[in-house]
Amino acid sequence: MGWLWGSSDSSSGKGALDPSLQDFLSKEAPTGPKPSLPSKPAEKPKEAEQPAPQHVSEGPFVPPQSQFQDGRYAHLWKGYVPQNDLENRAKTEQDKLKDIVDGFNDRKAEIGRIALENCALEYMEQFECFRAPKTYWQTATLCTAESKKFNRCYDMQSKFLKALGYLTLDVRSPEDSERIQMHADKLYQQMIEQEAAIEKAKDEGREPPKYESVLSKQNIARAMSGQPSSATPVTGNPQPDDTQDLWRLVKPDSRAKYEALLAKMTPAEQDIEKAALVGEIQANLGRAKQVQDTFIEERINRMKRREAGQSTIGDTIKRLWGWDRNA
């Protein structure tokens, strides 16, 4: 155990061996130069890894309803028809027309619900005023100011939603509907800022600033792009909106009533009312187009059934009533 105490041969461990064994190792040890160890091979430079070419597999079509998009069990999906298509095939003409009317009524109901969501703060102010009036004036006036503020917010939000096309029957995702809701609220807040700036100028005896319409193309594009609303006065005449050409589609008698109603409003309120009316006209045109397409599709189906000798009693009655004059 001498090597533990730092003997001279502790590095090789020979001091702990028997003397006869040390002599044997010395005699049997190889003589001559020590063999050189092989040098470390030089590292080869890493070649730039090139992405493996991707081969587009031209496999059978698999609908998104399948859990195996790699083509497995594709033969089981050959005759698959989505549930919505099956339901539409089984619907009659009356069912399709009912769906159009119900869809339009649902959109109108959604406008009321969304306008109420955008005016949640105004509604809470009115509710708190009715529940526990803070001043004698609120008690004496029955919260008239709070009710007027909420009713105006609800009415304006509904008009903004119509002007932005929420009433149309176009198929859109919930994200798109929520985006329109946010745009309507942004434009309403911009209108409030402009009105506050005008009132402040009047109180200070200055000339009120002039703004372009809240529902102009520039403001709508700014709101829909996510830019913050700004109440910057404009110089010069505002650019006309070509969507106002739809105003000509209103019947003369109805147009006279609208013009009499608009004459009692301010210029800013007139622009908002016209934009909301244009949105309603566009929605009605879209609904009329869907109704027309439904009638045309049903007429073609009746002609096909008649040519195949499978006409129904309803087809015969409609033909006798003149529904298929060219058939």
Sequence-ordered list of residues with C-beta below 8 angstroms from that of 324, at least 6 positions apart, any chain: 299, 302, 303, 318
Query: In 3D, which of 179, 146, 170 has the Cα closest to residue 286?
Result: 170
Task: Quote the distance between the C-alpha of residue 42 and its chain's center.
Answer: 58
pLDDT digits (tens, 9 = 90+) for 219-254: 777 766 655 544 455 443 344 445 556 777 778 888
pLDDT digits (tens, 9 = 90+) for 156-205: 999 999 989 898 888 788 888 899 999 999 999 989 999 999 999 988 88
pLDDT digits (tens, 9 = 90+) for 149-167: 999 999 999 999 998 989 8
Distance CA 187, CA 164 (A): 10
Distance CA 235, CA 213 (A): 13
- For the record, the structure tokens of 137 come out as 């004036």
Q: Which amino acid is at 34?
A: K
Instruction: Please determine, for residue 55, whether its predicted confidence score (pLDDT) is greater than 50.
Output: no
- For the record, the structure tokens of 86 come out as 């099956």
Instruction: Please determine, for residue 59, whether its predicted confidence score (pLDDT) is greater than 90.
Output: no
List Cα–Cα distances, 246 to 47, 250, 309, in angstroms.
65, 8, 45
Most confident of the following: 16-20, 41-45, 90-94: 90-94
Distance CA 162, CA 224 (A): 15
Distance CA 135, CA 148 (A): 17
Residue 324: per-residue pLDDT: 65
